[in-house]
């Protein structure tokens, strides 16, 4: 402003050389005469910067679409531009702006914080090719209600990200988990494999290499393979960890519940949104339901009998979790008490055996070390 004012005052002096002033002030003649005209019409205020925004913006997002974007974001505060753009298109809105434009609108309305922008980062994970090839299971921590502690039990299909189970459990023992899993098996059938961490009730921190528990034995008898995450590596169940982040952001943060029943009602409402409405970035902005199909393996009414091959050496685990084999006694697992296990000799190493329960190898035995 001071330079413009100085130029105008010098240019209005008698016999002023405007062209020479333009060179000295490094402005064009057109700009100079424009400033002089504005000063004549409006005085000093006419020299202030004026908005260069066009009077009309044909490419601007229509107000009703902008309202729909803001409304959807307010209904789902954790959804970003990609999810909102995909969801509006799915709902039948015409001319939905691209995710980058949706993100700009959210910024303009103050609906995305700087911290949220900094935390956003792409993830690349391995994915099984078919539904039910792998399910991931875990508890999402716990929180208190006036009626007791709630332990959210979650179960996710690896391929589709479909949430198979979201249960507000009051306990974390085997009976509660088995009952919840049985309900999912009745609805969706049996998976090929379930992956869990090494904590109870599905693992043993002291023996993470096999982690046989009452619950995992039940799963193995159903024909389901059981795997465990590496100790202290929660990223092994990365898709479930991401699901837990969404659950925390969209349901648990800032909420409190009177009891488990009220928490379960909130879980059920959000589970429907997650599976059927919420676009998932990890699967190309599809909804999990579009990629999931129930398993063709039904949940049996009774556990099948345990059978091994004709060349297996079968022994029964004693009351103390130990077995006698070739004059040696060794500890297996108390969870296997009264059940048969199979030992298959290693043809390459004399005295070495692979130990199986049902279809799953859980231990290697070297008689030379006993």
The rounded distance, in Å, linking the Cα atoms of 205 and 104 is 47
Tokens of 254: 């800032």
The predicted model gives 184-191 an average pLDDT of: 94
pLDDT at residue 114 in the model: 58
How far apart CA 286 and CA 279 sit, in angstroms, is 5
pLDDT at 205 over 80: no
Query: How confident is residue 121, by pLDDT bands cut at 50, 70 and 90?
Result: very low
Q: From CA 295, how far away is CA 323, in angstroms rounded?
A: 37
Euclidean distance between CA atoms 137 and 158, whole angstroms: 10
Q: How many secondary structure helices (H) and strands (E) does the chain include?
A: 11, 12
Q: How far is CA 348 from the centre of its chain?
A: 44
Query: Between 162 and 60, whose confidence is greater?
Result: 162
Predicted confidence at residue 124, as pLDDT, reads 43
**Domain spans in the chain, listed from the N-terminal domain onward:** 2-47, 63-119, 135-291, 313-369
DSSP per-residue string spanning 290-341? GG----SSPPPSSPPPP---TTSEEEE--TTSEEEETTEEEE--GGGTT-EE
The pLDDT of residue 369 is above 50: yes
Digit-coded pLDDT (tens) for 10-36? 888 888 888 888 888 888 999 889 988
Percent of the chain surpassing pLDDT 70: 89
Please count the other Cβ atoms lying within 10 Å of the Cβ belonging to residue 225: 15
pLDDT on residue 116: 60
Residue 231 has pLDDT above 80, yes or no: no
Mention every residue, 6+ apart, whose C-beta is less than 8 A from residue 198. 204, 205, 208, 211, 228, 229, 231
* 201 pLDDT more than 90: no
pLDDT in tens, 145-173: 999 999 999 999 999 999 999 999 999 99
Q: What is the chain's mean pLDDT, rounded?
A: 87
What six digits make up the tokens of 365? 């035995």
Residue 182 pLDDT? 96
More confident of the two residues 54 and 171: 171
DSSP state, 96? P
Instruction: Give which of 182, 136, 138 is closest to 162, Cα–Cα.
Output: 136
Query: Which range, of 16-30, 208-222, 282-296, averages the lowest pLDDT?
Result: 208-222
Contact 71, 87 (CB under 8 A): no
Within 13 Å of residue 57, how many CA atoms lie on the same side as its CB?
8
Query: For residue 280, what pLDDT is reported?
Result: 87
Q: Which residue has the tokens 């046989």?
A: 212
pLDDT at 53 over 70: no
Cα angle 268, 170, 135; round to 5: 60
Q: Whole-angstrom Cα distance, residue 297 to residue 225?
A: 14
- DSSP code at position 60: S
The two three-digit tokens of residue 212, written as one number: 């046989």
Q: Does domain 135-291 have CATH number 3.30.420.10?
A: yes
Structure tokens at 224: 């389901």
Average pLDDT over residues 233-256: 85
Is pLDDT of 206 > 70?
no
Give pTM, 2 decimals: 0.69
Mean pLDDT of 52-70: 79
Rounded mean pLDDT, 225-251: 82
């Amino acid at each position: 402003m001071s330079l413009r004012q100085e130029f105008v005052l010098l240019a209005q002096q008698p016999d002023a050389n405007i062209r020479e002033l333009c060179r000295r002030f490094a402005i064009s003649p057109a700009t100079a005469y424009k400033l002089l005209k504005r000063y004549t019409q409006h005085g000093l205020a006419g020299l202030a910067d004026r908005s260069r925004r066009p009077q009309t913006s044909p490419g601007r997002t229509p107000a009703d679409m902008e309202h729909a974007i803001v409304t959807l974001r307010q209904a789902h505060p954790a959804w970003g531009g990609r999810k909102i753009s995909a969801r509006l298109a799915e709902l039948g809105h015409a001319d939905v702006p691209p995710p980058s434009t949706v993100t700009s609108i959210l910024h303009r309305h103050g609906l995305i914080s700087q911290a949220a922008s900094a935390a956003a980062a792409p993830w690349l994970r391995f994915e099984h090719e078919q539904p039910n090839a792998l399910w991931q299971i875990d508890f999402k921590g716990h929180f208190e209600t006036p009626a007791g502690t709630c332990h959210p039990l979650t179960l996710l299909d690896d391929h589709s990200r479909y949430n198979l189970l979201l249960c507000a459990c009051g306990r974390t023992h085997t009976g509660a988990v088995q009952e919840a899993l049985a309900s999912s098996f009745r609805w969706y059938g049996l998976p090929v494999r379930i992956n869990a961490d090494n904590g109870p009730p599905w693992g043993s921190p002291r023996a993470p290499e096999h982690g046989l528990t009452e619950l995992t034995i039940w799963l193995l008898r159903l024909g389901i393979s059981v795997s465990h995450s590496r100790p202290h590596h929660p990223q092994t169940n990365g898709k479930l960890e991401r699901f837990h982040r969404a659950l925390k952001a969209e349901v648990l943060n800032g909420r409190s519940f009177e009891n488990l029943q009220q928490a379960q009602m909130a879980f059920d409402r959000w589970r429907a949104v997650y599976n059927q409405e919420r676009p998932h970035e990890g699967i190309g902005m599809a909804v999990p339901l579009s990629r999931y199909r129930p398993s063709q393996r039904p949940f049996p009414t009774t556990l099948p009998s345990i059978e091994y091959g004709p060349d297996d050496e079968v022994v029964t685990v004693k009351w103390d979790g130990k077995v006698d084999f070739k004059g040696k006694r060794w500890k297996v697992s108390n969870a296997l008490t009264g059940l048969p296990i199979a030992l298959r000799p290693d043809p390459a190493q004399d005295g070495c055996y692979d130990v199986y329960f049902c279809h799953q190898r859980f231990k290697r035995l070297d008689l030379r070390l006993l």
